[in-house]
Each structure stands twice: as C-alpha cells, then as structure tokens.
Amino acid sequence: MLGLCILTAACSDLGGPLPPTAPSGANQVTGAQMQAIGGPNIEVTFTKWVDPSFPLFRGVALFRGDDVPNEFAATVLDRTAFDNGNIVDLRAEYRVIAADGARSFTVVIEGKQNNQTRHAVLNGTVTDSTGGWLTGARVHVAFDVIEPCPQYSKPRCFTGILRVLAGSAD
C-alpha cells in the first residue's frame, strides 16, 4: 500500500492548509544539481496525501519565502515495484497551482522511492508554466513518507521539496 500511495494529487478544497516542512533528505542535492546560471533555484515545499481517486494526490505547497499556501496536485503516471518490495520506480506529474496565478507550473519527474527508508528522490523537467517562464527547466524532488499525518488529519502524507534548477531552462 505504501508504494502504491506515493506520487499523486488532485486539487480542490484544501481546507485550511498549514505550511509543509522539508523532508530529512531534502538538502542532499549534489553540487552539479545546484549549479545555477541565472539566479537562485526556485524552491517549493509541499505536503501531499492520497486523494480518494488514486492515482491522484492533492496537497498544499509554499514557495520559499512566501506564506501564502498554494494548491498542489500530482498524478502517478507509472509505478513499478522491484522484486524485493523495498524499491519502487516512479514516474509522476506534479502541479503547483499558485494562488496568484502567475507562478503556476507542471513538472514530469521520475526516480525511486525506498519503502524501507521512507524517502524518495526524483528528477525531471518543467513541462508547462504560466507564461512559459520555467518551461524546460530541470527539477529535483525529494520527499519523505510521514505516518501518521495529524497536521492534515490523514493516516499518511508525503512531505518534500521541489527545486526548479535556475538557468536550466531551454
């Protein structure tokens, strides 16, 4: 069940979100991943939970330095568990729907979730953004599985950081 409930979200009536926190492994980005040509990376913290319509997830997102909650949505596009049951290959689409409408973007990411450590690392690309401001940029995502999740009255949620790597857009 844990592996099945990994990467997804649908947006609607988030009901009083509280700010998400960063996962334990979120700061373990390598120097090569952090190289930026045109300014700082864009960082968005998120917390997501399984929507009743799996493979959808929904949640809340905050841009670094901002205190205005935004909607977060995701859809699992592909999920393949390794024979050992500990590692799951994931491919997903994440959407940050900005409250101001001007900073919304969509990414497609893929990577692995370790069900034993309860941590996932995924990389991908911004496929769409309001006004095209980020389209083509590289993305790095890290998240942890949290059980229980009293902050959102859920049995399980996933808390992480999505980094859009500056200067990497086409």
The answer to whether residue 97 is domain-embedded is yes
Specify whether the CB–CB gap between 22 and 159 falls below 8 A. yes
The answer to whether residue 3 is domain-embedded is no
The pLDDT of residue 123? 98
The answer to whether residue 8 is domain-embedded is no
The pLDDT of residue 21? 43
The answer to whether residue 37 is domain-embedded is yes
The answer to whether residue 23 is domain-embedded is no
Residue 133 DSSP class: S
Q: Is 39 exposed, middle or buried (0-12, 13-18, 19+ CB in 10 A)?
A: exposed
Structural domain including 131 reads 31-164
Provide the whole-model pTM.
0.77
Query: Looking at the 3D structure of the chain, how many domains does it have?
Result: 1
Mean pLDDT per 10-residue section of the chain, whose length is 170 residues: 35 36 38 42 96 93 95 97 94 96 95 97 96 92 96 96 85
The pLDDT of residue 36? 30
CB atoms within 10 A of CB 150: 9
The pLDDT of residue 139? 97
The answer to whether residue 40 is domain-embedded is yes
The answer to whether residue 25 is domain-embedded is no
